[in-house]
Structures are given as structure tokens and as C-alpha cells.
Chain A
Amino acid sequence: MNAPLRTLIALAGLVAFMALVGAGETTRGLERPEGLIGAGASLGLLLIGSWLAGRLMGAASLPRITGFLAFGMLVGPSLLGIVREEQLPYLRLVNDLATALIGLIAGGEIRMDFLLSRLKTVVAVGVGQVIFMFGAVALAALPLTGALGVGEDATRAQLICAVVLIATISTASSPAVAIAMIAELRARSDFPKTSLAIVVFKDLMLVVIFTIVITLTSRALLGESDGSPAKDLAVHLGGSLAAGGVAGAILALYAHRVGAAMGVVIPLACFGIALVSEALHLEPLLVALAAGLLMRNVWPEETEELFETIEELSLPVYCVFFAVAGARVPLAPLVGTVGLTAAALALVRAGAIWAGSWAGAALAGADAHTRRWVWTASVPQAAVTLALAGIVAETFAGEPFAQPIFSVVLAMIAIELVVGPILVKRAFLSAPDGAAADSGEEDKP
């Protein structure tokens, strides 16, 4: 029996096993929060099931993380329902742990000397992407305002705000996918690092842009505001970066003065980042990103072992992170008007990313491969986009466009998460210098 068939059988057996366990769920007559009991088993299902699905994708020369995502979607509340909606909140801490680790990896991948040598390309492409994405999505959203909940009786202010908000949210991208692909392909050439730097730079720009947009739109629609949405956002995002700086300094201090038991310290640190982020309403990905960036660039020798240990822990982290992301994405919006709107905007967005990247790369004098492929890493969207869409939904809860925008954004994320990794893999594999290893290679024992 060939390996893919055995994998498929194992996967089917696993899903059937979990369906039976779910059917026999018992609370022993005790009152428990809904979904708590099954969350542990769901964690195991998502971890090992996504890994098996990733292997199937790898056998088909597709990115493994597409398998992680697809498995999460399959067993999630939208399809088979083995991982139920009420279980997802209890996977949040595990997900935040995974997010923190991914953030550390992402920050650790960005070296300032490399960044400075590529600064022109990073800034030009990043700015180009933002300008083109914002403009193109805003223009494309204008005829689609009906699907965004802005009817004929809407005011001009509502129309403009809805369009501006969805255009702003669309500029966000997910560094997690780029990081995961760098790890999967063991891509060490300059191109993947440049791509990641652009995604991170763009997301940091988005902090400022979104703050301005949310301030202006809330003033326009909610009246004279005390700036609290912007203030909250500034605290949320600015505080995340500051907390990351503190976390990075402590980790570097430990690595320098003690340097032992890194395998214990890193998960504890990620646990701490997740806990503190929840308590202070910070963004764990940004906290960890800032920590990783600081450690890699200020204390590179002291933290070398720390980053090696982080890399060893990365595969199970990606499995959990992307499988949970897949389970969280509701697939119902993909059907009907919302799905069509999302598909149209996703296509426009991708086109705008390509155009903005090409223009920026050409302006910066980047090589042909960069001009052709650097756009791909900015296609996938995930946690940051979800967070921004959530802020919009919460801030403008009384407006007719809040929930439709949220649904459309979720649908866009679903589409881009499936397509994005495939594009990124193609781009990284075709890099001319130190071409990435194929994902079929295994570690030596």
C-alpha cells in the first residue's frame, strides 16, 4: 500500500474515532462550561490530523500548511462539526502560545543589517502595495456596497466609511504564512527574508494607518468622540510593541546570564506572553514579533541557541496554529452574495498587490525574480486582519455595514489562506539564489 493511501486511511480512521468519541461525550452529571470537555481531544485531533493532511498535500506537491488549514476547515464547525464552535474559545490559550512562538520566529528572521541593505526595496514595495491595495479595493468596493450592508438609504458618510474601512483592512497580511513556508522549505536565501520583511513592515505601517482611519471614521459616524477607539488601538498596538521589548530584554538577559534549559524557558516565555497579552488586551503576535526582533538584533550571539530551540519546536506549532485558524473560519459566508463579493475583492486585492509590488520593486531597482514574485507573500491574511475586522465590528456595532464587512473579510481570509500558501511556495522554490529545499526532505536524526 503506498504512503498517501495509508495516510488517507489513517486520517479517515482518526476522524471516525473522534466522531465516535464526540457521540459518547459525558459530563458525569457535572455542570461544565459548554465545549470545555471536548477541547482537549480536539487539540489532539487538530494536531495529528493536520499533520497527516499536510503529508497528503506534500505528496501532491502542495504546501503542507494548506493541508493544516484544510483539515481545520474540514473538522471545524462549518463542515463536519467534530471540533465544535463552543470548543474553540478553550483552544485560545494554546493558539496564543503558538502565535507567540510564531511571532518570536518572525521577529528573529529579521536582521537589521539585512533589512538596511534591502531598505529601499522593502519600503518601496511595502508602500506600493499599501497604495495600490487601498485604492483598488476601495474602487472595487464602491459598486459592491449593497453586499457590504450600505443600502440606497445610507448616508454619504456611511458609504465612504464602509469603503475606507474595508480597503484599510485589506492592506493587512499574515507574516505567519511566510514564516511557516520559510520553515517548511528551509528557505535560507535572501528572497524569502525580503518577502517577510515587506510583510512585517507593511503590517507595522498599518498600525499607524488604521489608527488614523478608525479615528476619522468614528468621528464622522459616531459624532465627536473622545478618541477612545484610536486611544484603545494605540494602547493595544503600541503597548504590544513595548511589551515585546520588555519580553525580549528579559529573554536575552536569561540567555546571556544562564543560557540553560532553553527548551523550558521558551514555552514558559510564550506562555507568559500569551497570559500578559490577554490580561492587558495586547496582540500576542506583535509582542512576540517585537521580542524576537530585539533579541536577534541587539543580542545575536547570546540568543543563537534560543532561536535554534525555537526552530525545533516550530512544526507542531504551525500544525496547531493553522488548523485552529482553519476551524475558526466560517465557510457559510462563502456561499451566496457574501462569497461572491469576497471572491471579487480578493481577486482585486491580489491584482493590486502584484501591481504595487511590481511598481515598488521596479522603482527600487530590485532583480527580476523579486519584481515577479515578491507580491505572493502579502496575499495571505489571518490573525491581524481578523483582529482589525473585530475592532471595526465592535466600534461600529450600530452601523449597518459592521457585520457584513466582518463576514466579507472572513470569507476573503478563507480564500486567501487556501490560495496564498500555494503562491508563496511557488515563489520561494523558484528563488534563484540558494534555492529552497523541497519539503520532502527530512531532518537527520
Chain B
Amino acid sequence: MQVFLSILVLITLAIIATSKLFYRLRRARLGVMLFAGGWPAIAVGVLIGPHALELASDTAVYEATPLALAGLGWIGLLVGLQARRSVLRTLPRPVVRAAIWDVLSVAAIFLPLSAVTLRLLHPTAPPGPVLFAAGAIAVCSIGWSMETRSLLHAESPDAHASAMLVRVSGALGALAAIGALAVFDASTGAGPAAPRVHPALAAVIALALPALIAACVGLLGREALSQAGGSSADQLTVFLGIVALSAGAAAQLGLAALVAAAMTGVVLANISNRQTLSFERFILRAEHTVATLFALVAGVLLDPNIGLGGVALACAVAGARVLVKPALARRALRAGLPQGAAHAPTMIGPARQSPVALAIAVALLLEAPSPLLARTLAIVVLAGVLSDIAAYALSRPRRPGALQTTVGERSDGAAGARAGGES
């Protein structure tokens, strides 16, 4: 009976998804924000997962692991492909400064905040798992969302200039977050060498192995893409194979899949030829598909039973994001902002969680599955939703009668280049 009820719920949701009302909701500002974060898909994943309707059984959850790894590979590759030498060399200084300050602020504020909150909530828990969870939440807090269209109220050059800087710094933040994940992962005994050698050496090996995977898969990918030529079907196949291979190989060696995939993207971006560069359009075309499927699988994997303590932690992290990140971004990017743009609604954007945060939390969960990390994933998701809602509330126009438009009703031509990619 439960299975039939679950299917009925799914069919109802599917029919609702066909309604014009739903489509309009998606295009409203809040709808754009929430869909950019993948939260509705995550909610559906939770609904069908083992903690709700149980349509996706525990077995199905395990069977979803290769798909989740492929999704991680895709996200990592996408981020890594941004790290082209020619692009990194020309990054404005304020952008680099913003990324560095962001990482430092996470180490100085978010890490202690998470550790203290977790310790207060679980006073008798051993320190190891508490620190691990705090470290995971801190790494997930690095960077910010690159989606700024929902924050653009006015068609002004200042607003678009600030949006551009937020997007570029967000993209760099995503790279920084994955770099931090690599260090965090290596320091926690990842990799095949960990049980056999000194921890310091094991950590070095754990940092070197993803690079080795990246080199091998990157070279293979380059050759395969050259052979694929201009064929869209072949390029898509090669691309999917690369993402699954890089992420899967890392997971098999006990390493973070996201790190290896990102490094593979870096290798591909910097040894690329014309074919490699031309296949990036598939990444952009497939963006929504993969992001939605990945969010669905993440929803199935997380454990929503976080209790009031988990909710409190998520609120604390979201609150810290709202208080710290926009101010930090304004200060760091000030030199690159036109006068008056520092207080544009787009500068609230850094309060929103980076889409890479979800991927980092899933990567850690897949690498070392545990109820703790399943709940940590739920806390990361909740913090993301809360920070999106807070950003929406804070970025609403304050003037009475100010024109509120849906995202789709503005001219897309004024949205600016997709540097760093939008979620």
C-alpha cells in the first residue's frame, strides 16, 4: 500500500509540475533563487527517500551511488575547467582578495562557530567526530552562489558590474572550496596509504593521488575528445565517461571524488585543444539536467533527523553568512566596484551558499558514509535554504511601489557574461 501511495504522490507532483502556476512560481525571484540551489529537487529526494515515503529503498540508495559519483564528477569538472591559466592570470586583484579573505573568515569564524555549537549540542560526544563535522561544515561555507539574476532589480551598469564581480569571485571561491576539501580530506586519513604509513606521508600521498588520477584521465579525455571531433553525441559520451571515471577512481581509492574531478578539469582546461574547448557547451546545456538529478540523489542520501540542535546549527551558519559575507565582499571588492554599487542588491549575493557546498557535503558522505555525515548534509542543505531566504528578504526593493519583475521579464541581454557560470 505504501508503495502505491508513494507513486500516487509522485504522479501528483509530476502533474503539478506541468501546471502553469508552477512554471510562473519558478520564474519569480524567490523561485529562481530556490531552484538555482536545487532545493525543490532535494525536497523531492527527501520525500521519496528512506526517511519519508521509502519509494527509494535503502538498496536503491546504494544503487544511486554510481550516479551520485558521476554527478560529483560533473560538478568538479565544471569547476576545474574554469581554472584556465590564461583566465587566472587576468583575474582582477579585488576578486582574488575576496576569495582569500573568504577562506580566512571561514577558518576564523565558521569553523569555531560550528565546533562550539556542535560541542554545546553534543557535550558527551567524542571530539574526533565533532571536529570532523565542524570541519566539513566549515569547508562547505567557503564561497558563495554565482546566481545574481534574481538579485538584479534595476537595469543599471552599477548593478551589473557588481553582479559580475560577485559571480567571478564566487567562481574563484568554488575553486578555493574544493582546494580546502582536498586539504581537509588528506588530513583526515583519506587514501589507500593511510593505514600503512606515517599520517604526514599518507596526507601527502592523499594530495598527490587525485593529481595523478587527473593527469591520467585528463590525457585520456583529451585523446578521446580529439577522436570525437565535432560529433555532439560522441562528445557527450566522452564527457560523461570522464566525469564518472575521475570521480569513481578517486572514490575507489578512498579519496574525495570532487577533488579528483576538479583537478581533471584543471588538467583538461590547460592541455586543451579546439575540440576540448568546444565541448564545454555541452556542460552548459546539460547543467540543469545534471544539477537536478544530483540534487534529487542528494535528497535521497541525506538524513533529515537533525533535531532542534541541527536546526540551530544551520541557523547559526546561515546567520553568520548573512552578517559576515556581504560585508567582507563589499570591503574586498570595493576597489573594483563603481561608486554606489557597494550597496546594490547584488552585494547581498555572497550571503547565499555556494552550489559547490552541496557537492562537498555529498562527496564526504560518499567517501565515508555515516549517520553523522548524512545529518551534516542535511544541515548544509538547511543552511543553504535559510541563507537564500534571508538574501531574498534583504534584497527586496524598499521603495513603495517599486517595480517587482520576474526574472524572465527582463531583457536577457542585460544579464552580462557568464563568467564563472551561473547555477
List the B side residues contacting A280 at CB < 8 Å.
Answer: 3, 7
Q: Determine whether B69 belongs to the interface, using a CB cutoff of 8 Å to chain A.
A: yes
> Is there contact, CB below 8 Å, between B249 and A268?
no
A36 touching B234 in the complex, CB below 8 Å, given contacts A44-B249, A48-B241, A275-B56: no
Given the complex of chains A and B, what is the CA–CA distance between A39 and B68 in angstroms? 11
Among A52, A91, A316, A444: residue with most chain B CB under 10 A: A316
List the A side residues contacting B55 at CB < 8 Å.
Answer: 275-276, 279
Given contacts A28-B368, A257-B20, 5 further A-B contacts (CB under 8 A): A33-B62, A39-B248, A40-B247, A47-B241, A316-B236
Among B57, B66, B257: residue with most chain A CB under 10 A: B66
Q: Determine whether B292 belongs to the interface, using a CB cutoff of 8 Å to chain A.
A: yes
Q: Which one of B233, B245, B367 contacts A443 once the chains associate, using CB atoms below 8 Å?
A: B233
> Is there contact, CB below 8 Å, between B227 and A44?
no
Q: Determine whether B223 belongs to the interface, using a CB cutoff of 8 Å to chain A.
A: yes
**CB-nearest residue of chain B relative to A95?**
B63
Given the complex of chains A and B, what is the CA–CA distance between A40 and B19 in angstroms? 36
Expressed in whole angstroms, the minimum distance between the Cβ of A27 and any Cβ of chain B is 7
A279 touching B220 in the complex, CB below 8 Å, given contacts A263-B289, A316-B240: no
A92 touching B63 in the complex, CB below 8 Å, given contacts A254-B18, A272-B10: yes
List the A side residues contacting B208 at CB < 8 Å.
Answer: none
Given the complex of chains A and B, what is the CA–CA distance between A267 and B67 in angstroms? 12
Among A32, A41, A280, A313: residue with most chain B CB under 10 A: A41
Given the complex of chains A and B, what is the CA–CA distance between A182 and B253 in angstroms? 40
List the B side residues contacting A13 at CB < 8 Å.
Answer: 216, 220
> Is there contact, CB below 8 Å, between B369 and A258?
no
Q: Which one of B7, B62, B227, B278 contacts A7 once the chains associate, using CB atoms below 8 Å?
A: B227
Tell which of B108-116, B169-177, B189-197 binds the partner: B189-197
Given the complex of chains A and B, what is the CA–CA distance between A27 and B240 in angstroms? 25
Expressed in whole angstroms, the minimum distance between the Cβ of B206 and any Cβ of chain A is 11
> Is there contact, CB below 8 Å, between A48 and B242?
yes
Q: Which one of A24, A36, A443 contacts B253 once the chains associate, using CB atoms below 8 Å?
A: A24
Q: Determine whether B211 belongs to the interface, using a CB cutoff of 8 Å to chain A.
A: no
18 CB-based A-B contacts, threshold 8 Å:
A10-B223, A13-B220, A21-B253, A26-B254, A29-B195, A33-B62, A39-B66, A40-B69, A44-B245, A44-B249, A48-B245, A49-B241, A90-B66, A91-B66, A250-B11, A264-B292, A279-B3, A280-B7
Given the complex of chains A and B, what is the CA–CA distance between A271 and B68 in angstroms? 13
Interface of A, secondary structure class, is: helix
> Is there contact, CB below 8 Å, between A22 and B20?
no
Given the complex of chains A and B, what is the CA–CA distance between A38 and B367 in angstroms? 12
Contact residues, B6-40 vs A (CB, 8 A): 6-7, 10-11, 14-15, 17-20, 23
Contact residues, B197-229 vs A (CB, 8 A): 213, 216-217, 220, 223-224, 227, 229
Q: Determine whether B244 belongs to the interface, using a CB cutoff of 8 Å to chain A.
A: yes
Nearest 9 A-B pairs (CB), nearest first?
Answer: A48-B241, A44-B245, A41-B248, A40-B248, A44-B244, A40-B69, A442-B231, A93-B63, A26-B254
Given the complex of chains A and B, what is the CA–CA distance between A26 and B240 in angstroms? 24
Given the complex of chains A and B, what is the CA–CA distance between A263 and B227 in angstroms? 25
> Is there contact, CB below 8 Å, between A264 and B66?
no
List the B side residues contacting A264 at CB < 8 Å.
Answer: 288-289, 292-293
Q: Determine whether A368 belongs to the interface, using a CB cutoff of 8 Å to chain B.
A: no
> Is there contact, CB below 8 Å, between B62 and A90?
yes
Q: Determine whether B46 belongs to the interface, using a CB cutoff of 8 Å to chain A.
A: no
Among A43, A92, A268, A271: residue with most chain B CB under 10 A: A43
> Is there contact, CB below 8 Å, between B65 and A51?
no
Contact residues, A71-115 vs B (CB, 8 A): 89-94, 97
**CB-nearest residue of chain A relative to B22?**
A258
Given the complex of chains A and B, what is the CA–CA distance between A27 and B64 in angstroms? 18
Chain B 288-320 near chain A by CB (<8 Å), digits 1 or 0: 110011001000000000000000000000000
Q: Which one of B230, B252, B278 contacts A442 once the chains associate, using CB atoms below 8 Å?
A: B230
Q: Determine whether B243 belongs to the interface, using a CB cutoff of 8 Å to chain A.
A: yes
Chain A 238-266 near chain B by CB (<8 Å), digits 1 or 0: 00000000100010011001101101100
Q: Which one of B20, B288, B296 contacts A261 once the chains associate, using CB atoms below 8 Å?
A: B288
> Is there contact, CB below 8 Å, between B237 and A316?
yes
Chain A 397-426 near chain B by CB (<8 Å), digits 1 or 0: 000000000000000000000000000000
> Is there contact, CB below 8 Å, between A40 and B48?
no
List the B side residues contacting A89 at CB < 8 Å.
Answer: 63
**CB-nearest residue of chain A relative to B11?**
A250
Q: Determine whether B238 belongs to the interface, using a CB cutoff of 8 Å to chain A.
A: yes
> Is there contact, CB below 8 Å, between A44 and B243?
yes
> Is there contact, CB below 8 Å, between B23 and A44?
no
A43 touching B244 in the complex, CB below 8 Å, given contacts A28-B367, A263-B285: yes
> Is there contact, CB below 8 Å, between B242 and A37?
no
A263 touching B248 in the complex, CB below 8 Å, given contacts A258-B18, A278-B60, A443-B233: no
Chain B 252-293 near chain A by CB (<8 Å), digits 1 or 0: 111001000000000000000000001000000110110011
List the B side residues contacting A258 at CB < 8 Å.
Answer: 17-18, 20, 23
Expressed in whole angstroms, the minimum distance between the Cβ of B335 and any Cβ of chain A is 39
Expressed in whole angstroms, the minimum distance between the Cβ of B52 and any Cβ of chain A is 14
List the B side residues contacting A158 at CB < 8 Å.
Answer: none
Q: Which one of A37, A45, A253, A443 contacts B15 once the chains associate, using CB atoms below 8 Å?
A: A253
List the B side residues contacting A314 at CB < 8 Å.
Answer: 233
Given the complex of chains A and B, what is the CA–CA distance between A314 and B233 in angstroms? 8
Q: Determine whether B353 belongs to the interface, using a CB cutoff of 8 Å to chain A.
A: no
Given the complex of chains A and B, what is the CA–CA distance between A13 and B194 in angstroms? 27
> Is there contact, CB below 8 Å, between A10 and B232?
no
> Is there contact, CB below 8 Å, between A40 and B252?
yes
